[in-house]
Structure formats: structure tokens, C-alpha cells
Amino acid sequence: VDVRLDLFDEIARLKKEKNAVLLAHYYQEPDIQDVADYIGDSLGLAQAAAKTDADIIVFAGVHFMAETAKILNPHKKVLLPDLKAGCSLADSAPPELFKKFKEKYPDHLVISYINCSAGIKALSDIICTSSNAEKIIESLPKDQPIIFAPDRNLGSYLNKKTGRNMVLWNGACMVHEIFSLEKIINLKTRHPKAKVIAHPECEAPILAIADYIGSTTGLLKFSQRDEAQEFIVVTETGILHQMQKENPSKTFIPAPPNNACACNDCPHMKLNTLEKLYLCMEYEQPEITMDENLRIAAKKPIDLMLEISA
Ligand code: 13P
Ligand code: SF4
């Protein structure tokens, strides 16, 4: 890379020249969020991918998100700045093991959280995200037995909220399991007026002390509408950039991890950088490709989710 290039200008030029749209998740680094055409949570990003008329979708997020965009847009080029940007939660559900697990529950329908591979999506009946999960569950009859995969924390939170008894796959996100309840409580004693806002991928004891639980978009909107001036934010740190931007006079404190060496940055999300983003737009790679039969099978439960969430 010519270090004299202004990457912001170059990325803007490439977007125009190539009719490319840049979609970014809230966990991306601030510079990437600032050049994106659309920033959102997983549902917002899937909806944006479903309706774009750009020729190229550049996905600043992790692999399952770009893969979902490709599933919805087989004829568009979908680029991901670093193909190694995976997801510990998606990795916790290998399709061949999940297939065997599913065979033990022949009467159950499968609701899968969008944080999973195309292989898991192809084995699922409906996909959900943290912002529409309750609605998706409620769309099924009360007595319908359900398997929920792959996040056990979100699954048990949803079981409590909806009064269902979904069978849970034992997966989790490495970032959301790192928070220390004790340190959050200590922080709260020092900031008694602060509201604790948490993502539902966190473990149950953390969720039990939260004032608000929601997807990244949900957390951002809550921080805008709530009268509190201080918030303890229990999720990946990337979201703080938008919170601070939207609410310059409020204070956002990232929740502390359970030990000093741990960190609540997602190592997968943070693999993408502005430099890699520029290179991927310039050279149009790495590109997401996938088997057509797998794509068709994985698309069905995503379409159903988009229909129910419209
Ligand atoms: P949402 O942005 O949909 O809340 O998802 C959070 C997440 O962990 C994405 O990897
Ligand atoms: Fe996956 Fe967790 Fe990173 Fe989101 S924050 S991409 S769920 S590892």
C-alpha cells in the first residue's frame, strides 16, 4: 500500500467506481464504521444485504455475516476484508455434530441464531437474530418442540422470556463470556446512577443485573432514549463508538473482563482493518464463494426470518 494514500478518500472513490456498498457491523473499528454506507446489527445488515442494488457488497464484519449476504445475493460479488474473520460461536456448532444432535429430536423444529455457518443454516427451519428472536419463537405454536442453536446463553434467556423449554445446543461467544459479575457490581457501586446494558449473549448472572438487554442496535437506541447519563456497556467495545457519537454528553463505560489479561474486543471482528478493507476493494478479493445446493438450502430459513421480521 502506498502509505501516502488517504484510505478514506480511496475507499470512497472505489465505492463509486465499482458501484459497491459497504456494510459494517457495530463491532468494527471506528474508522471502518465511519466509512460505511450502512452500520447495523445482524438483522439490519441482513436486511440491507437483501435489498441492495449495488454490484459488489463489501462486508466489514465476520464470515457468517458475509456468507449470509452471499446466500441472499448469488449473482453479486461479496467481499470480506479478511477471510479468517470467523466467530467462536459459529465455530462451536460443527454441522456434522449438529446433524447427529438433531436426529435425537425428530419432532423438534430448529431455530438457529444467525451466528452460525451455512451448513447449520441448511439444517435449520428458521433463522433469528438477537433483535427478532422472541418474535420468531412466538410465530410457532406454544406446544411446538424447538431446538435452539448455537448460543446457550441467548437460548436460556429466551426460554425464560417466552416460557418455552427449547432444547439448547451448548455453544457460546468467547467475548460475551468474559465479563466479570463482581467487577460490574463494583463499578456500579462507584457509579450508582449508571444503567447496566447487556447483550443477550452474556451469561445469566450478568443478564440478571442488567437494566436493559438487547441486540447492538437495541443497546444503541436505549442509550439514546433513556434519561441516564452514564451506562455500563456489557458487550464488545466497538459499539461504544456509535454510542459516544450519538450521545456526546453521556458517559459510556465498557464493562470489565474477568481478568486483567482478557479483553472484550472480538478478535475476529478486529481482524478487519482500514488497510485490508481498501486492498479488498481495490483487488476485489477475498471473495465469498459457496456451493449452490448449500446456498439454496441455507436461504430457506433466512427468507422465512426476513418475512417474519418485515
Ligand atoms: P447483533 O449485532 O445482532 O446484536 O449481534 C452481536 C454479535 O455478536 C455479532 O457477532
Ligand atoms: Fe462471534 Fe462473539 Fe465475535 Fe460476535 S462477538 S463475531 S458472536 S465471537
Q: What is the ipTM of this complex?
A: 0.98
**Phi and psi angles of residue 21, each rounded to the nearest 5 degrees, phi first:** -110, 140
**Phi and psi angles of residue 99, each rounded to the nearest 5 degrees, phi first:** -60, -45
Nearest to 235 by CA among 260, 216, 212, 210: 216
Q: Would the annotation count 68 as a binding residue? A: no
Q: Residue 190, Cα to own-chain centre: how many angstroms?
A: 31
Residue 300 grid cell:
430457506
Indicate which residue's Cα is closest to atom 1 of ligand 1.
41
Please provide the size of the chain in residues: 310
Indicate which residue's Cα is closest to atom 10 of ligand 1.
115
Q: CA 210, CA 232: separation in Å to the nearest integer?
A: 9
How remote is the CA of residue 159 from the centroid of ligand 1, in Å? Answer: 19
pLDDT recorded at residue 310:
86
Alpha carbon distances (Å) from 225 to 136, 217, 218: 25, 12, 11
Domains for the chain: give ranges and CATH numbers. Answer: 7-85+269-290 (3.40.50.10800), 89-173+298-309 (3.40.50.10800), 181-254 (3.40.50.10800)
Q: What is the pLDDT of residues 235-285, one digit of tens each?
A: 999 999 999 999 999 999 999 998 877 789 999 999 999 999 999 999 999
Q: What is the pTM of this model?
A: 0.96
How remote is the CA of residue 293 from the centroid of ligand 2, in Å? Answer: 27
Instruction: For the chain, give the percent of residues with pLDDT over 70.
Output: 99
DSSP state letter for 92: T
**Alpha-helix residue ranges (DSSP H) falling in 73-170:** 88-91, 95-103, 118-122, 133-138, 152-162
- Is 185:256 a contact under the CB 8 Å cutoff? no
Q: Residue 212, SS3?
A: strand
Q: What is the pLDDT of residues 293-305, one digit of tens each?
A: 999 999 999 999 9
Q: Which of 45, 89, 120 maximizes ligand 2 atoms within 8 Å of its Cβ, making it the mutation to test the pocket?
A: 89
Q: Residue 155, Cα to own-chain centre: how many angstroms?
A: 15
Q: What is the pLDDT of residues 161-180, one digit of tens each?
A: 999 999 999 999 999 999 99
pLDDT recorded at residue 18:
98
**CB atoms closer than 10 angstroms to residue 264:** 20
Burial degree of 91 (CB within 10 A; 0-12, 13-18, 19+): middle
85 CB near ligand 2 (under 6 Å)? no
236 CB near ligand 2 (under 6 Å)? yes
Alpha carbon distances (Å) from 1 to 75, 85, 255: 30, 21, 36
**Phi and psi angles of residue 253, each rounded to the nearest 5 degrees, phi first:** -110, 120
Residue carrying C-alpha cell 443485573: 209
Q: CA 79, CA 28: separation in Å to the nearest integer?
A: 15
Q: Residue 148, SS3?
A: strand
How remote is the CA of residue 42 from the centroid of ligand 2, in Å? Answer: 11
Q: Residue 65, Cα to own-chain centre: how many angstroms?
A: 8
Flag whether pLDDT at 31 surpasses 90: yes
Q: Residue 9, Cα to own-chain centre: how many angstroms?
A: 28
